[in-house]
Amino acid sequence: MRDPGPCEGNDGSSAVRRPGMPMKKKLILGILLSAVLVWLSVRGIRFGDVAEGFRSIRYGFIAPAFAGMLVMQVLRSWRWGLILKPLETVRPWTVFEVSNVGFLAITALPARLGELVRPYLIARNSKIRMTAALGTILVERVMDGATVLLMAMVALQWTPFPPWLVRSGILFGTVMLGLIFLMIFLSFRRENSIQAAEFIIRRFPDRVANPIRGMLHHFIDGFQIIRNIRLLFQVFALSLLIWVVDVAIIYAMFAAFALPLSVPAALIVMVVLLIGIAIPTAPGFIGNWHYACILGLGLFGIPKAEALPFAVVYHFISVLFIVIMGLPFLPFMKFSLADLQQQMNGGGKP
């Protein structure tokens, strides 16, 4: 008997509830924003020039880019397993399965709802609470942000960044520092933090306040790696390696399109792309991925007619890779959207 699929309950019946109006509105707004960004991406382009860009692709460089994506996926899974380790030593294969399905969900679901799927799935496949797993995702995101920011600062020695990107980096760095200090404080001053939060929590009725207290405790549990310097150093080293591989992927894509750009340029394009895909648009990063690539390549004088084929192909192989890696694991993950919604609403194992 097969396990329930992504849209089924434990009895094999449909478990997907119709989304509420807020989710529908988010989806509609995301699609509209994607449409605007697609229009900005193609505005003023002569499609004959774009077609020439597609014809001139050197496909031999696509294979190394695809291989780099596999390496990056393995490293991401390994790193998350280390972040989870203070909570529970989860089998590496389980973490890999959950990671692949989670990244597929981030790509496929609107309004970045997919960010909740990895914590949900790891809670279903281990003794870790979903809210604690959410804490580990925050650690992962902060580590990514700090690593990319550090790499960008190094790249400044060779390639000047445009003023708007420098200002964005300063703002981003300020937010990252704030989050780092917050996580350190929550980890080492746990009781003080909970007492401070209690000032707000106690204003709610007990039926609301008690679940919030439990979730806060478990969420802080997700930061336990901060107290383990050895593991934290390993996670930082893996984060650095992950983004070095991503830069190498973009550099291979430069070679595929014969773009005469350097490794620091690949890093800058990566930074602009990361900012772009953080915008909640339609599923699949349609529009924001393409416009961010065009914007990043434009910083180095690459015309839009050459940048658009790059963006389209890079987006296509990235999404194709995520689908290839995620789909085979879906039947084994018991991925129920109804159960995810229940856990978000406080049911199940928060």
- Each residue's pLDDT tens digit, 60-96: 999 999 999 999 999 999 999 999 999 999 999 999 9
**pLDDT of residue 115 exceeding 80:** yes
**pLDDT of residue 10 exceeding 50:** no
Tokens of 124: 């279903």
Looking at residue 7, its pLDDT comes to 37
* pLDDT class of 339 with cuts at 50, 70, 90: low
Q: 166 lies in a domain? A: yes
Please list, in sequence order, all residues whose beta carbon lies within 8 angstroms of the beta carbon of residue 209, skipping any fewer than 6 positions away: 201, 202
3-state secondary structure at position 14: strand
The pLDDT tens digits for 27-52 are 788 888 889 999 999 888 888 778 88
Distance CA 100, CA 330 (A): 9
Q: What is the pLDDT averaged over residues 158-184?
A: 87
Domain range holding 282? Answer: 53-343
The tally of domains found in the chain comes to 1
Q: 5 lies in a domain? A: no
Q: 9 lies in a domain? A: no
**pLDDT of residue 97 exceeding 80:** yes
Other beta carbons within 10 angstroms of residue 125's beta carbon come to: 17
Q: What is the pTM of this model?
A: 0.87
Distance CA 305, CA 47 (A): 8
Contact in structure between 56 and 258 (CB atoms under 8 Å): yes
Looking at residue 349, its pLDDT comes to 58
Q: 154 lies in a domain? A: yes
Distance CA 146, CA 33 (A): 28
Cβ neighbourhood burial of 2 (10 Å; 0-12, 13-18, 19+): exposed
Contact in structure between 213 and 201 (CB atoms under 8 Å): yes
Q: 35 lies in a domain? A: no
Q: 46 lies in a domain? A: no
Q: 24 lies in a domain? A: no
Q: 119 lies in a domain? A: yes
In angstroms, what CA-CA distances link 78 with 94, 238, 247, 287, 323?
Answer: 11, 8, 19, 31, 20
